Chains A and B, each alone.
Chain A
Amino acid sequence: MLLMVEVEVRNVSKNFGNFKASDNVSFSVERGKLIGLLGPSGSGKTTILRMIAGLETPDSGEIFIGGRKVNNLPPGKRGIGFLFQSYALFKHMTVFDNIAFGLTVQKKSVAEIKSRVEELADLIGLKNFTHRYPLQLSGGQRQRVAFARALAPNPELLLLDEPFAAIDAKVRQELRGWLKKTIHKLGITAIFVTHDQDEAVEVADEIIITNRGRVEQAGIPVEIYQSPKTPFVAKFIGESVQVPDCSIFKGFDEYESFAGILRPEFLEIAATIDEMPQPMPVTTERGIVRGTFFRGSVIQIDIEVKGQLLKGFRGLEQTTLHEGDEAFVFIHKIYGFDGDKTTVIENAAKRGESVVI
């Protein structure tokens, strides 16, 4: 199958005064993919989205949509649909007129507009609400109207700025699934901005992680989770504890001092050494339990090892640990930092090296 590139961002930079919103950003998006631009607030993700839409102008670099350079095209001529964070629905127009706006501007025939609006109203499940005004809709309904409005002129590319930020937590979950399914069904390319990693992981086919105006890493969610390329990505994705010197731990002591992070699932916490899958004292640490927290499906254990407070999980069926108990800790691996790179470092026991027992 030939993969077509729908969006290409090439060496784009953008400053607001002294603030580097985008710093030499490059990436490309394949046709039909749903992409999540993920990053903390102020990381420049919304600026990238707005530059693709033409709502901001890059200081340098090029942007291509569908193979066409769009730097000098106004937003209305780029063939995009944009979903604003606040939805930006026209307050004084009905749902019908809101969805129809883009088509009206293009001077489509009344019959064509009517059938397209009805089709979209049906798609978003608001067929009976087309006479209402935005203020008479719930948050979730407004979001879907904005979605339909952006889709109405059949854009090649849909851009969504924090599409779920303004919606109640309860409905958000449901809308995420709906949006993903609908976008795939339509076969449209879409890029959405979010600061919520769960949302990005759940909805996106691929994630682009931004930080301080730069792209840190791009890839499919599992890959990013399993092999973060930079310290920032390692810290930003998933739960973690950062340790300034990881060479203090058994199993990692042949390395020179290095900083790194440990995910809870990298830790095996056992009440007795026999509970350990690899009961090797040379590579197993002892620690004191400092806190236990019920987390639904697991119990989180905060455990102090060599003066470092680490975090791990234990199953509900395992013997209960209490604060102050001594326990055994086996560290499977660590994401070690090496400048602005991250490398996975396995415990000596797992590297299969000869270990004297």
Chain B
Amino acid sequence: MREPIWLKRTLIFLAASFLFVMLIMPLLLVAKEALSKGVDFYFKALTDEFALKALYLTIEATISAVVLNTIFGLASAWLLTKFDFRGKTFLGSLIDLPFAISPVIAGLFFIMLFGRLSPLYPLLQEYDVAIVFAVPAIILATVFVTFPFITRELVPVMENQGRSEEEAAATMGANGWTIFRRVTLPNIKWALGYGIILCSARALGEFGAVSVVSGHIRGKTNTLPLHIEILYNEYNFTAAFAVASVLVFLAIIVLILRNLVERANKNPVEEEIPTDDKNSSELKAGVAHG
């Protein structure tokens, strides 16, 4: 199909302008607003006590979610791709479920589980354990919304690899850890990296679920996105955008990493692949020497 040049140009123009208006302009705006009161104000907003505390909490929640989901992602992907069992499809769909559930509803689940109306609530009160409106619930909600990310990246790749490399290693007497470390991991490292990046990005920016369970206690249960909301609602726009600019910066890093990972994955080792025609000479030599 050879479309006329005007059509091609129009389509490129449409795509580019759509993305410019919808994606680039908001990014530029964040930068402009963040610096609208000068560099000094910008850094003051970033080093504000509550901003820093929110940053620490965000990092804490993100690291927890990434660590837990990496363990879960590797285990579940191994289970789903290396073994056959009844209920496998169901388990796969169950893991994907958080994608179909609004983050606000995810937050609601944890309120129901640990909040005032929960049967667990008296028990938690008695032992003075704070889950809802405290850090544990923020971590739980973050894990929930990022739950499928790593599994979803790993399963198709591992499905594609098949089981024969692992079986081959097993016939040579390798144990589980050796098989995983030396045979499986090198094959899935890029997918794992990509999954971790996606999971971190989502965990850093999660708003709805965290908003429900956090209770918005400044300096205690505010993550960076929630801190931005508070500043914005207090009409402290410049500070809100200053903090937002940090998250924009992180998002751009995520996109760059994503691209690097994808490119590294695409070109493994490019060298001339010999054809079988050359084999004849090698073979004869092999038999003669051997």
Contact = CB atoms under 8 A, between A and B. Distances in A.
Contacts of A101: 169, 172, 174, 182
Interface stretch (B136-144, B159-167, B237-245, B248-256): B159-167
Nearest to A106: B173
A137 B290 CA distance: 21
B290 A136 contact: no
A141 to B, nearest CB: 7
Given A55-B171, A136-B271, A137-B274, A174 B279 contact: yes
B93 to A, nearest CB: 23
Interface stretch (B17-25, B34-42, B209-217, B280-288): B280-288
B269 A135 contact: yes
A83 to B, nearest CB: 9
- Among B186, B273, B279, the one with the most A-chain Cβ atoms within 10 Å of its Cβ is B279
B11 interface: no
Nearest to A81: B171
Interface stretch (A60-68, A120-128, A238-246, A281-289): A120-128
Given A76-B174, A105-B172, A174-B280, A90 B287 contact: no
Task: Specify the main secondary structure of chain B where it touches its partner.
Answer: helix
A85 to B, nearest CB: 8
Contacts of B280: 174
B274 A84 contact: no
Contacts of B165: 88-91
Contact of B278 (A75, A82, A138, A170): A138
Interface string A160-196: 0000000110110011001001100100000000000
Given A86-B162, A137-B274, A91 B187 contact: yes
B3 interface: no
Given A125-B282, A137-B274, A153-B172, A182 B287 contact: yes
17 contacts: A54-B171, A55-B170, A78-B171, A82-B171, A84-B167, A88-B164, A93-B182, A105-B178, A123-B290, A125-B279, A125-B284, A132-B271, A138-B275, A140-B279, A168-B276, A171-B279, A174-B280
By Cβ-Cβ distance, the 4 closest A-B pairs, closest first, are A125-B286, A76-B173, A92-B186, A88-B164
